[in-house]
A and B are shown apart, each in its own frame.
Chain A
C-alpha cells in the first residue's frame, strides 16, 4: 500500500479491508494492520501484531473505559495482562507513545531533504525564554530554523504559534540545518 507523506501526523485509516471467514476487520494505519474485533454486548477490541508475534491492543468498553491488553507468549490466544485504564491514564499513555512517534516521523520526513535535520532541545531552568512567548526568541529570523512542536510532559503542542508561552522542561522540537540548529540551541539555553 503506498504511503502518503502528506497524510499528516495523526492520519486517518487509509483503507478498510474485510477479513473474510473471521470475526475481525482489518484497518491499515501507517503500514500497520490494526485488527478490529467487535465484542457484542461489551465493546470493541483493537489490536496490533508486534514483530515478536505478540498482540497488543485496547478493549474499549461501551461505557467508555478502556483496557490495555497484551497477549501471552506461550499461548497467543490468551492474555498475559489486561489492565483497566481510566480516561486520563489512557490519554497519558497515548501521548507518551505518540510523542515518540512524532519525533521518529519528523526525522523520517526530513531524511530526504539534504542538510536538514530535527533536534530536540530541552528548555532548562534559568533560560532567558522560560515563561516568555515563543515569538520573543525570533528563532526563524535569527537562525532560519522552525519550531515544529513542543513536548510538555504528556502533552504535544504541534505547530506552536508565536504567542505560545514556553515553560521550563519543555522539549522544543526544531527542524533546520546543522548550523541553524546549533545557533538555536545557544539561544534557547542562553541565561538571563
Chain B
C-alpha cells in the first residue's frame, strides 16, 4: 500500500480511538491524559498493535502539542496574577518546590540515573496539573471555598517556576558545559523577567498586534507567532516551550480569553498526539520493573503535596477540613510531568526506564489526585471521630 494511504488509515484509527477514550474519560469524570498515555502504550512498540508509519507526523504534531500546552499555560494567568502570586505566596511556593522535588531527586539517585536524571525527576514530581486541579475544583463546587485561592496561588507559582526550570533543564539535557549552561540560564532568566515586566506595562501592544475581529486570521496569527517565538527560543538554546509560555504571558486581557477559546481545540488535538507519542515510545514491557518505584513515589509525593497545601492553608487561618482539602487538591500530576519527561527522553540524556517510570507515575497520580480531592473530607471527618453530616439541609439560618 502507498505509505501516505497507510499513514492516513493509521492516523484515522488513532484519532478515532482517542475520541472514544476521551469520551470515556469524560463519562467517569477524569482527565483524558492517562487514557491517551494508555492508548499510546497499546498502539506502540511491543504493544497490542504496531503503528510504525505515522511516527513522522506524530513527531512534529507532538512538538506543536507541547508548544500549545505551554502557550495556553501562559495564557491561563495574567502577568499581574503571576507577580501578585509570587509576592503573596512565595513561602508556600518555596515549600512546595523543596518538598516535592526532593522525592524525585532521591529516587533518581536511588536508581543510579545521576544528576541529570535527578533534575528531570524533580520536575516530574514537582509540577501539579493545573488543568486537572482547576477542573476538579470547579466540578466539586469549591470555587467559593476559602482554601481555593491558596491552592490556585501555589499553582501560579509552580507556573512561574516552570519558566525558570525549563531553560535550566534544556541546557543541562543538551549537555552544554557548566559555563555554557549558566549563560543559557542567565539569558533565559533575564528574558523571563523582561517579558514579565514588559507584559505588565506593554502587554496590550502584543495583544493589539495579534488581535483580530476575524476568527480565522486571529487563529493564524496566534499559531504563527507561537511557532515563530518557540522556534527562535529554541535557536537561542532557551527551549521552544519556554518561548511559547512567555508569549502566552505577554498576551493579556480580552485577547487572552479569546485566544484560549480559539486555541483550545487545536491544543486538544496536538496535545493528544503528544501524549500518544510519549506512550508509543514507551515500551509497555519496561513498566512492570518500575511499578514498585512508581507506587512508592506516588505515596511519598502525595504526602508532600498534602503537607504543602496543609501548611499554606493553615497560614491563611483556614480550619482543619479546609487544610486537608487544599492538600488533597494539589496531588494531581499530569500534562507537565509528561512534557518534562518528553523533553528528557527526546534528548537521549536519560535512560529509557525514566519514560516508563514517568508514564506509570503520571497514570497513578492523574487518576488518584481527583479521587483524593473528592474523598478527603469524609476521610478527615472519620479521623475527627465526627459523623459525616452528609448533605446539609438546604436552609439553616
Contacts and interface: CB of A to CB of B under 8 A. Distances in A.
Interface of A: 22-24, 37-42, 45, 47, 52, 54-55, 57, 59, 62-63, 67, 69-82
Contacts of A72: 392
B143 A77 contact: no
A67 B144 contact: yes
13 contacts: A23-B316, A24-B149, A41-B77, A41-B134, A47-B144, A67-B144, A69-B143, A71-B144, A74-B389, A75-B322, A77-B147, A78-B325, A78-B377
A82 B321 contact: no
B235 interface: no
B45 interface: no
Interface stretch (B94-102, B150-158, B163-171, B211-219): B150-158
Contact of A82 (B144, B261, B319, B394): B144
A39 B148 contact: yes
Interface of B: 76-78, 81, 84-85, 88-89, 130, 134, 137-138, 141-150, 152-153, 155-156, 257, 261, 316, 318-319, 321-322, 325, 377, 389, 392, 394, 396-397
A110 B319 CA distance: 45
A41 B141 contact: no
Contact of A42 (B138, B145, B150, B394): B138
Given A22-B316, A39-B149, A41-B152, A78 B143 contact: no
A62 B321 CA distance: 28
A23 B88 contact: yes
A101 to B, nearest CB: 19
A75 B321 contact: yes
Interface of B is mostly: helix
A21 to B, nearest CB: 9
Contacts of B85: 40
Contacts of B148: 39
Nearest to A69: B144
Tell me which of A45, A59, A70, A77 has the highest count of chain B C-beta atoms within 10 A of its own C-beta: A77
Tell me which of B76, B85, B147, B149 has the highest count of chain A C-beta atoms within 10 A of its own C-beta: B149
A63 B258 CA distance: 9
Given A23-B88, A80-B392, 13 more contacts: A38-B84, A38-B149, A40-B81, A40-B155, A42-B137, A45-B144, A57-B144, A69-B143, A70-B144, A77-B322, A77-B325, A78-B142, A78-B146
Contacts of A23: 88-89, 149-150, 153, 316
Contacts of A78: 142, 145-146, 321-322, 325, 377
Nearest to A56: B144
Nearest to B73: A41
B203 to A, nearest CB: 16
Nearest to A22: B316
A73 B392 CA distance: 9
A40 B145 contact: no
Nearest to B82: A40
A40 B156 contact: yes
A75 B149 contact: no
Contacts of A57: 144
A77 B146 contact: yes
Contacts of B152: 39-42
Contacts of B77: 40-41
B127 to A, nearest CB: 15
Contacts of A41: 76-77, 81, 130, 134, 152, 155-156
Nearest to A72: B392
A22 B318 CA distance: 12
B322 A79 contact: no
A64 to B, nearest CB: 9
Nearest to A64: B257
Contacts of A59: 143-144
